[in-house]
Amino acid sequence: MKRDKIPKLQSLSTKYPRRMTSDPGEVSRLTVIRTKDARRRRLEIRRLKYTFETMMNITITENSNNGNKDQDDLLHGSKPSHGLTEISLSLSSPSSNQSTSAENGIVLAGFGEKTCMKNDDASTSTCTSHGLLSVIGRRCEMEDAVKVELGFMAKGGEKFDFYGVYDGHGGSRVAEECKERLHKLLVEEIVEEGSGSGIDWGRTMDRCFEKMDEEVNKGRMAEEMVGSTAVVAVVGNGKVVVANCGDSRAVLSRGGVAMPLSFDHKPDRPDELERVEAAGGRVINWNGYRVLGVLATSRSIGDQYLKPFVICKPEVTVREVTNGDEFLILASDGLWDVVSNEVACRVVRRCLNGQIRSKTADVLNHNRASEAAAVLVELAMSRGSKDNISVIVVELGKT
């Protein structure tokens, strides 16, 4: 039977010969094209696997007074049609006000309730609401983690809220550990500090980040080549406290002006370059400036193999909340690599003012901060971000 089938196969190949070319360059070009197409299809299938369930349309209303310039700045490459631009966005309805982690490691849209915190002046209070979104984007693995803990601490009759964005590298373990532990370590540090008149936020944050670094480097699951950046914000008692370690970022919108509350720890930043070289390390331009040609950030939690060149000491900023403060944005570099501080603040402001609205009112109409976080993520994707993207928007108000 096998001998009978062989002539049939030969005749079929003769009848339908495979298209061949004698030009080696043409063969190589076709091979590269086929390889790229196959890889693109695999990545698209993988990305679609992690999309969310509820399809939404975000409608951006163009302000006729501003013309088309702002619209072009906000949506790179998009063309307004009859004054409206529609963006397809995938989201999932949350099961609770707190963000949840799916089995694949993606954090879905978070919808935060509004909380009010009284200041020393009984006639004023700082009111906040928040929204968050964390997606895998075009990466093969999800290494970001986000944490929102409302009322995570009370001191002197005042409640504080905690917001954190962690961008892992080499794996997600350190980012996940920071998500679970860092805010708890912060509470422990404040309790150990005692019941003084105020909190020394610089010293407290330093100790907190140092303990977190020790836990991930010396714990039972220690991995020398895994690390994470961290940008966290504590809101309460009329203050916004931001601690940053790495290249994630926090930006405050005050009176319509974007004010960075943290500065990226890039290896080519002059003071960071000097510090790394003084410790005996080198910064090498290898697909971007990297410590020892490996890590693209000069500060992080973890990364034991790069000590002492890469440190965990955060830079801390404390700001009093004023009447002009509108909102706070915390995000990983998946957003900031493609969206500037000013553009991000304009997008959020339009969302909070109702100029960017969701057609699917059942999901997002009760919290515009969540819409703002979702639109920022979609904007980063449309501008070609190739990293995981995590965004927290905290709406501030003083009434």
The closest alpha carbon to 167, from 287, 265, 248, belongs to 248
CB 142 within 8 A of CB 388: yes
CA 171 to each of CA 168, 182, 208, 313, 367: distance values in angstroms, whole numbers, following the listed order: 6, 18, 22, 21, 32
| pLDDT block averages, 10 residues each, the chain of length 399 | 40 43 64 72 52 34 40 38 34 35 41 52 55 94 96 88 97 96 96 76 96 87 87 95 98 96 97 97 94 96 95 97 95 98 96 73 63 92 96 81
CA separation for the pair 205, 224 (Å, rounded): 23
Q: What is the reported pLDDT for 269?
A: 97
Neighbours of 193 (CB within 10 A): 15
Q: What is the reported pLDDT for 107?
A: 44
The dotted CATH code for 46-398 is 3.60.40.10
pTM of the shown model: 0.73
